[in-house]
Chains A and B, each alone.
Chain A
């Protein structure tokens, strides 16, 4: 049975028991104080103490530590708060073994100043190899003190610490009473450890033993090793806790919006999207039309509370202040590790974090970069449009003050977004402990000038970290993919017959057959990736009696089912595109259409929109015809099956011949395209191998194989798209839905050109796409076949992305598609999964007088609006797909590691060098990673090399340059605080960097 007692509080000591009776907060609110019950049973923690109750649990040795030079009779160490705040590394060291008395005053002050440090301190208390005893001096009647009228909280705490030290001194002598018959032994000393000179002086006046940290460490046995750990800040006077002051502004105010608007109009300010730098959270950039290079924003003040994606107004500094982008990886989490979620609420800033950041920024400038690399530099003076949305985050566990799941208290915590581009978000929640291991959705509410971080609120939990559902949903949310099931209004637009719908029997009266050609007898087949359900294209080819060849591309006739101005149409327009994740497809159209009624499945009659060419044997277009049709595909091949069939010399059936014919044409078409200057670009494409369809556990990652048949389908799709683009542009010069790829500005390639020249002695001609293609072909390293692909990948990254546009809204001369080197292009061939294709279908259908064009497609603003959405969705879908692959690569790596034991070791190419690390690309897995060095390395920005100085005598310095092949160990490491798994790479060859 528990012992229940009533604590009596004598009336007489009312003053001392009420620690702070009234307290005024910063907002002028008066808070009633709390009471305090003082007691005499707080144990001193010294083993064998006769004066204290229940000394069984005590951990401090009776004689203290005898090893220190200055205290041969033994001593206990009693550090003050600042020692823990600034010298935690020292105290955490294994060599630092002195018995420590930790006063409650100190523990609480550390907790108030920095939660992360407090957590480290708490770990220290429970560590086996440390002797730390927490003495609850504020509850012991002899040591409790009350703050005097004109005393600062800091002075009060110092006084409390001194009082505690004095009490221990007398307490030890009392319990060390000499035993009769034995020589009296001098009792151990209690040493007050403080770096505050004023405090030391006062303590000496009171007759206490006190030392500075440096002095103390110098007297220790392992002084030489420990002195290294001494933080440089230790020598300085530590600033006292500031009393509550007005919160100082960290950021400049925004200009009023009218001024911003006027400034943008007058050309003094520049407007653009803010892009955060994923390697360096203190840097961002804004691309504006006025400059060829994006405007660089360096440091928090200049970024002025912009979040990735915001439309901001930027003021550009005079050219003398322009800077080059930093060449260092600056990680928010490591730099701001000890930052406190509640800190800036209560206090003004200006503490060590800012110093640290300043240091980081300073190194970039000091390195004296070449003027050529300087970019226009500026600062954000206003926000034109916030693009805040809900972000997927994790709760940072170190920012929690209480992790008990029963705790209902309101806590201020940090939420770290999964995207590295976003700042941490401060969040107030009552359910922080339960959210710790979950992915959560957080929206930003505001970002005040006095707050270092934006403030947000919790929206909902997505589920456990690393569970597939949560990861999948978070991915969709992160890339803003609409993934809700289709509503009833949309499903009502489907044919009433459902999956029983068939092409009606051919007759004059049938609506479906009106104006359609009957291609049911034609030898048509489809070639798609394995497992493809939404087959939207099929092909055929046959020789004509006149020696020419007839080739046809048949595209699913989606516009027959999806009519303009219906709920289904507007939903498809809003979704823009089907999103393919590794284990899931988020359809643009209801699956009845996508995978059944529109899908050109073999052996069933389907409606199609056909493009039929008459091609000369040299693949010159003689004639092209567009027509609605009915087809019945004869076979659905995968790329592999088609390839095997084509290569099999024993097969001579019509289907095989047709594929061969198509292939021969495709080769000529491709050659023609290449001659015209089309680029053969590369992007890292990998395929995730699944265990089985149900479990969807990735087994392994392999690179996608490209076969001849891939190129076959590609060439005919391009041809169809180009032909359709010409036609609709002729018919509807104002509103045709086209796609273009702008030539990249030459400056985009400067860096790559420079690297290639310096590292490999190769030149890249970027004057035109043809020249680029030719020079890319020459970028070959005989010993390294993958080198060419790498350069292609890097070149691709320098380019702009292709976009849909409305033909009437841009100049005729900018229609061109840079990558494909064609003057006009559109998307026509995948209406099941892309909305732009549906529009192209409608326009083409109107241009052949099959249906009248819906009024909305005559309106330029409407088409522009729709295409803007589609462009955005398209971009997001690509990123979502890539992120999904990345996640599965991570899972596969983990699986591989478990299976094989040990680490995953792969070849990698260096693609970037930083002051403190390397950017590497693992082509086999299609992932990029960072290798970071904690130790100092020499960095040569001019030559893109880093040199790792020899660590042991006898070894040589190792120099690594961009394009070097290295071997890396890859592991997926779970971040302790945020729970987010991330790929961690360490160098295995030419030098092992795991220790660095």
Chain B
């Protein structure tokens, strides 16, 4: 019955009550997960992604080390329960490998890898729930996890998906909408406004492409505000905690370092 739902009805509402340019509710949780150096749990509506970052650290396999910069390794796992239909995807699944490689190539130029020669940065992404815009959620989660891990970045990468229904652009698509309308994911570096990722897997009319991209680009900046707020909040918490236990010193491994990194990043 999926086709029985109107993507954008006469009143200008989408099937979940949003209007064209409204993004879904975003929650960001930056609490440390396990032994990861930085982690982020991000939800876009019902899409939920957990990203853990390890490193920079010595590469497990010698042959993967690069003498002049750090090697970025991205692995994506899709929880079988994340989709409507329970389905197990193996690690060799081509679709997932492609997905991981997209994320890797998006972040490689943004991470300042040259600061860490002969080391490795591992990014593990777990997709816990899927309801459209999975790639943007992964990108945004990875940005946040890298920041919490204290990995120096040139800028945030804020990614959002956009689509076209008839002639109307839509932002932040759900699964339902992704199945129906052509969609494009756009990742931007909000400070400079540079676009680092455009991913288009469906056919989109060339006349509409520019408009959608522009709207998604704008939306990236709005998203940036939200992400920055979360980072600031967390860092503020850490700073407060440091102040509270002043003198205890070296409370958590790399804790202050992370804070510094964050502050620097934000004030870039």
Contact = CB atoms under 8 A, between A and B. Distances in A.
Given A1-B218, A342-B4, A406-B182, A34 B21 contact: no
Contacts of A122: 10
B202 interface: yes
B174 interface: yes
Contact of B181 (A9, A346, A407, A411): A407
Interface in A788-822: none
B17 A4 contact: no
Contact of A37 (B18, B83, B205): B18
A846 B204 CA distance: 68
A764 interface: no
A111 B9 CA distance: 12
Contact of B26 (A4, A6, A37): A6
A112 B84 contact: no
B164 A36 contact: no
B182 A32 contact: no
A941 interface: no
Given A136-B13, A139-B13, A37 B22 contact: yes
B1 A8 contact: no
A397 to B, nearest CB: 15
Nearest to A3: B21
Given A134-B10, A406-B181, A407-B181, A32 B131 contact: yes
A389 interface: no
Contacts of A401: 3-4
Contacts of A42: 11
B93 interface: no
A138 interface: yes
Contacts of B219: 4
Interface in B171-189: 171, 174, 176, 179-182
Interface in A406-433: 406-412
Contacts of B23: 4-7
A36 B16 contact: yes
Nearest to B202: A408
Contacts of B222: 4-6
Contact of B22 (A7, A32, A408): A7
A34 B131 contact: yes
B1 A346 contact: yes
A2 interface: yes
Contact of A32 (B18, B46, B202, B226): B46
A410 B2 contact: yes
A3 B86 CA distance: 38
B15 interface: yes
Given A34-B46, A39-B17, A4 B218 contact: yes
Nearest to B83: A32
Contact of B24 (A3, A7, A410): A7
Contacts of A484: none
B236 to A, nearest CB: 21
Contacts of B181: 406-408
A488 interface: no
A36 B83 CA distance: 18
Interface string A106-138: 000001100000000010010000000010101
Contact of B215 (A2, A134, A412): A2
A31 interface: yes
A35 interface: yes
B7 interface: yes
B192 interface: no
Q: Quick one: which of B10, B11, B164 has the most chain A CB within 10 A? A: B11
Contacts of A134: 9-11
B57 to A, nearest CB: 35
Interface string A237-270: 0000000000000000000000000000000000
Contacts of A5: 21-23, 222
B21 A4 contact: yes
A701 B85 CA distance: 61
A411 B202 CA distance: 18
A628 to B, nearest CB: 64
A29 interface: yes
A111 B4 contact: yes
Contacts of A8: 25
B215 A4 contact: yes
Contacts of B11: 42, 104, 134, 136
A30 interface: yes
B179 to A, nearest CB: 6
A973 B218 CA distance: 50
A402 interface: yes
A208 interface: no
* Pairs of residues from A and B, 3 with the lowest C-beta to C-beta distance, nearest first: A9-B25, A139-B17, A409-B180
Given A37-B22, A402-B180, A405-B166, 17 more contacts: A2-B20, A6-B25, A7-B25, A32-B83, A37-B16, A37-B17, A37-B25, A39-B17, A111-B6, A112-B1, A134-B10, A404-B165, A406-B166, A407-B181, A408-B181, A409-B3, A410-B3
